[in-house]
A and B are shown apart, each in its own frame.
Chain A
Amino acid sequence: MTHLSMTEAVRTALAEEMRRDATVWALGEDLGRGGIFQQYKGLQGEFGPARIVDTPISEAAIMGAAVGAAMCGTRPVVEMRYLDFTLCAADELVNQAAKARYMFGGQARVPMVVRQPTGLWGNCAAQHSQSLEAWWAHIPGLVVLTPATPADGYAMLKAAIRADDPVILLEHKELWGMTGAVASEASGEINAVIGRANICRAGGDVTIVSWSKSLHACLDAAALLAAAGIEAEVIDLRSIWPWDRRTVIASAAKTKRLLVVHEAVQDAGFGAEVAATVAEETGVRVKRLGSPRIPVPFSPPLEAAFRRTAAEVAAAARTMFARTPNSSS
């Protein structure tokens, strides 16, 4: 058990996997200089430019070459620099990587990881700030992971590299500096992080499900709610596809209230999938809290319109205790 930042945790994970398996390599822009968030710092020195590969600014070729290389015996780790740039490689990800195995009748496997630095960070405006986990979750063939802690970043990158499916790793840019305890892989946590939610705080009054950076606002909100006498159960979904229906449904069935919170735009966000599933399975009251359906603006007071705070999460949870005409509780 060591204490690492998110950046150190994922860098350690990649280095360990590259030492373990010579077919693992990483490709993307500026990786030799450490990557723009220093998540590859020092790796080219250890593994050389043939395995930590600096590429042209050619997202379609980065993604497409990774698909070809993954189908031919290697395990590429694709760096997209910002999630938003993945849209320049949408065909290669959605039509090629996700579908090759199926279309070719199982002849091919596409064991690749696509790292996408995600979300609000540093007033980067509309083309460098998005959260698109719902897009990827919609595509059969893809696995979608959203670590919220250094421990999960470490375990998820390792699990993603070892998986034979194409895996999207959404790394929130505001979490790079977060520190936390990281268990060594001998702890058995590596495979436990995919498809299994983590109950971060137990409570009996309302279930709050979130992931990535928003999880931390929810934990702060739970403290606010506790001060008001409401005990929230906070669940880090952490794996968007597959997602842990069982844990979420069991918690919602217990608390009778489900609030799903995410940084992505609320409309048609993955929270809708979680809420609808829980409503279908349990009939309990559900509520969503995501961002408004606007492009992410630049100026700090405008950007604040996109950001959901702990106070807003707590307020949203409190509304679920008010008696309304549609209320079931």
Chain B
Amino acid sequence: MNDAHSGRRNEPAAERLLAHYRTMARIRAFENAAERLYNEKRIPGFVHLSTGQEAIPTGVCANLAPGDQITSTHRGHGHTLAKGGDAGAMMLELFGRVGGYCKGKGGSMHIADFSIGMLGANGVVSAGMPIAVGAAHAAKLLGRETMVACFFGDGAVNRGPFLESLNWAAVFKLPVLFVCEDNRWAATTPTASMTAGPGIAARAEALGIRAFSCDGNDVAAVDDLAGELARKVRAGAGPLFMIARTYRWSGHTSADAGAYRDPAEVARAKEDDPLERTRQQLMGLGVASRDLDGAVAAAESEMAAAIAAAEAAPLPAFADAFADVQDIGAPKMRAGAPA
């Protein structure tokens, strides 16, 4: 198995950080594009943006091997890209076109790529958590030496499946790294106002799962912590838990202007931009600003090309709505299909 974390000890810090910067720039460019496309009414539905949270999936997934798996959330674009997903197939899905990751049946909230171990974004808060422990349970049952990183938000800690999944993973000593992306907002409510007790870490610790926190806007800190925890999970330590503190720049959905938030709070958060912080760190390590500008330009042109390809792609055929429901008792195509 390819242990990304132990392998990187020989990797120069600047090179690894620059790779992170490229990944974060791709996520930022994708989210900016998705937001623009929504505002211009060029894509159907809604999108949940992870702008400002790019360092967390980047730092975590850098420590996963190709055979490792992740579960995601409704705010999942960054997870898919960081795990190695294809921005073109993601964009096609946002447009609901042929060639999209879900053939136009899922949209932003259900993007998955099982070929890279991305087991799906999910429209229900905390719903990825039991699926993550189940994937880890299957790995254990089948004797696979893979692990699962389970992404969820701070809002998820008030749902029952959070408790059930953590307990399950601990009881069965499963190889799961729980990653709480604490962006401080649960839909339009400040999470702290609705979360009793001493905090998220205490909930994990109460179940005997060691919990660690880091600055989720510092990709090197996320990378270091995730690397250490992933190594322990692989070594058979059972589940571990990390909390990465960040902030959700956008509203809950693309339709939510977030007017319930103090503009000063949002402005302060944007000053703590994970991309800008990484850029400063890289320049301190001697990386030229033109290389960093080049990474951003490459990400933006990748997304522009993805948009152009998606807009040119065909829409799915009416009959496709009836495919992939089930093998037994599959639906019959209804009469009256439009020409």
Listed in ascending order, the chain A residues whose CB lies under 8 Å from chain B are 23, 25, 50-51, 55-56, 58, 60-61, 63-74, 76, 91-92, 95-96, 100-108, 140-143, 163-165, 167, 194-195, 241-242
Cβ–Cβ < 8 Å partners of B129 in chain A: 64
Q: Can you give 5 A-B contacts (C-beta < 8 A)?
A: A25-B141, A64-B130, A91-B124, A142-B326, A241-B329
Asked whether A141 lies within 8 Å of B325 as measured between CB atoms, the reply is: yes
Identify which of B113, B140, B160, B323 contacts A106 (C-beta below 8 A): B323
The answer to whether A104 and B110 touch across the interface, beta carbons within 8 angstroms, is yes
Instruction: Check A60 against B326 for contact (C-beta < 8 Å).
Output: no
B167 and chain A: residue at smallest CB distance:
A56
Within the assembled complex, what's the spacing in Å between the Cα atoms of A164 and B329? Answer: 12
Number of interface residues of B (CB under 8 A): 49
The listed residue (B133, B135, B139) touching A61 by CB distance below 8 A is B133
Q: List 9 tightest A-B contacts by C-beta distance, closest first.
A: A64-B130, A68-B134, A242-B329, A65-B134, A105-B102, A61-B164, A105-B103, A68-B131, A69-B138
In whole Å, how far is B332's beta carbon from the nearest beta carbon of chain A? 11
What separation, in Å, do the CA atoms of A45 and B331 have in the docked complex? 42
A101 in contact with B325 (CB, 8 Å): yes
Shortest distance from the beta carbon of A281 to any chain B beta carbon, whole Å:
14
Q: Contact check, A74 vs B142: say whether CB atoms are below 8 A apart.
A: yes
Residues of chain B with a CB closer than 8 A to A101's CB: 324-326
- Identify the B interface with A (CB < 8 A): 69, 71, 100-106, 110, 112-115, 119-120, 122-124, 127, 129-142, 160-161, 164-165, 167-168, 171, 323-329, 331
Expressed in whole angstroms, the Cα–Cα distance for A76 and B323 within the complex equals: 24
Residues on B with C-beta less than 8 A from A23 are 141-142
The contact of B142 among A58, A73, A106, by CB within 8 Å, is A73
Are A140 and B325 in contact, CB atoms less than 8 angstroms apart?
A: yes
Whole-angstrom CA separation of A69 from B168 in the bound complex: 13
Q: Please give, as numbers and ranges, the residues of chain B lying within 8 Å of A51 by CB-CB distance.
A: 141
Residues of A within 8 A of B325 (CB): 101-102, 140-141
Q: A60, B324: Cβ atoms under 8 Å?
A: no
A64 to B124, CA, bound (A): 12
Inter-chain contact B328/A143, CB cutoff 8 Å: yes
B100 CB to closest chain A CB, in angstroms?
A: 7
Q: Within 8 Å CB of A142, what residues of B?
A: 326
